A and B are shown apart, each in its own frame.
Chain A
Amino acid sequence: MAIDPHSRHRVRLLATAPVAAGLALVTACTSGHSATSAPPDDSMSGMSMPSSATAPGPAVGANAVAIQGFAFSPASITVKVGTTVTWTNRDTDAHTVTANPGPFKSKTLGTGDTFSYTFTKAGSFDYLCTIHPFMTAKVVVTA
């Protein structure tokens, strides 16, 4: 698509005198600051059990996390030691479930894929999607 530069307004922006005329794309914007991640806990161990599911994932229960709308839901769950948590990707885009830092790391999960991990030690585990790192969540494991 060719752009005719002559159809544009001529606008000169000076640091001392901003001019809004012609700036159709001016939109409000909110600046914020992201939360910092929790301190590392490298002492945890466990078994990773990635799996692929062709059928729709199970309903979200106490031990299940849905990946939907580019978010982990719920963003924080609390389980007892020994619990297996299962994540199911319900988005059309791919995601990962990756502890940051920590003991579990899924492969790339396509639509409908699941990932499960059994928590063998108490603690708080932050994780994110490495494809979309703004997607952050955590699992709190109690004794």
Chain B
Amino acid sequence: MTEADEPTGPDGMSRRQLLRHTAWFGAAVVLTVTGGEVISHVTDNPAAGLPAADPNTLRFVQVSDSHLGFKGTANTDVEGSFARAIKQVNALPDRPDFVVHSGDLTHLATDAQFDQVKQMLGGLRTGQVFTVPGEHDSIDDHGQKYRQRFGAGTRGEGWFSFDIKGVHVIGLVNTLSLESLGHLGTEQLDFVRRDVAGLSSDTPIVIFSHIPLFAMYPKWGWGTDDAVRALSYLRRFASVTCLNGHVHQLFSKTEGNVTFHSATTTAYPLPAPGKAAAPAPVTLPAGQLVGALGIRDVTYVRGQHALAVRDRRLA
């Protein structure tokens, strides 16, 4: 994942760095695989080519970093913002097959905060709700309270996988080890290896984790120290899409067959990498917060390699 030796342009930014800063709201980033090469392009018409209400079309939504219980000027009503996000999901033209919350459901992992977020997630109009924990959900008990509410049907310490409409979906837990970086651990890595062993290489893989599986900004802990091993098990697959939270901002990057998409938050923004002394909550000028929050919906048409990832500002 190191890019230290990559040639850089006159502005000090390498081509790859340019490519990985191409995430924003409104437009869909469509990933296609042509001749083995993943091509990202932004379309101004995300619905183009996607059949409406096709039973073979997979639609799911990612919401992230709701931090219920947060008190601060960066967002004085995180519960209200999360309620708006849920309402926005419920107003989507097509009911999503599932919704995934990619962690930091709560701010301080208290019983009351877990109860509230579970109750609010129950208001989603969708087939099923999946979660992975953030470090805020496991600050003092290695995720026990989290798993009491959200651990049903999961393996190990909360990881899981399932197949839906031709896509293999994996939820990983990389927030339980006390390291500055995210960590998967041997047991979970073995799970990934065995989990994909029997899959055909043309099966699209979607992976959820809280902390990025790529080195977005390790100085702030925005990376996972053993993710390279997990991704090594996925090298033979034509299309691997990793969707994470944690960084509270949109960010996309493609490495070989793998595309990473960091999601924004429903709670409060964090600074861009290196743009502040610490990744502490950012208080925006009045009226601008809502523009930094949002939800993400993803569409996949069975039989194709393309996943359309669309980020929407909070409505």
Contact = CB atoms under 8 A, between A and B. Distances in A.
Contact of B290 (A1, A69, A93): A1
Given A10-B44, A13-B42, A71 B218 contact: no
B273 A69 contact: no
B179 A133 contact: yes
Given A25-B21, A93-B72, A37 B15 contact: no
Q: Is the interface of A mostly helix, strand, loop or mixed?
A: loop
Nearest to B135: A133
A18 B15 contact: yes
Interface residues of B, number: 66
B185 interface: no
Interface string B63-94: 00000000111000000000000000000000
B22 A13 contact: yes
Contact of B2 (A29, A31, A128, A131): A31
B125 interface: no
A124 B119 CA distance: 44
A114 B1 CA distance: 40
Given A29-B273, A134-B279, A3 B25 contact: yes
A23 B41 CA distance: 12
Interface in A43-96: 69-71, 92-94, 96
B157 to A, nearest CB: 15
Interface in B20-54: 20-27, 37-46
A118 interface: no
Contacts of B314: 1
Contact of B280 (A23, A27, A93, A96): A93
Interface string A110-134: 0000000000000000001011111
Contacts of A94: 107-108
A26 B23 CA distance: 9
B285 interface: no
Given A29-B217, A37-B179, A130 B135 contact: yes
B178 interface: yes
Contact of A13 (B19, B272, B273): B19
Given A1-B290, A134-B278, A20 B18 contact: yes
B41 A12 contact: yes
Nearest to B222: A134
B140 A130 contact: yes
Contacts of A4: 26
Given A18-B18, A23-B22, A8 B27 contact: yes
Contacts of B156: none
12 contacts: A1-B291, A13-B22, A26-B21, A27-B272, A29-B17, A30-B217, A31-B218, A34-B181, A69-B277, A70-B279, A93-B72, A96-B140
Return the 7 tightest CB-CB contacts between A and B, nearest first: A70-B278, A3-B26, A134-B221, A34-B218, A12-B41, A100-B178, A70-B280
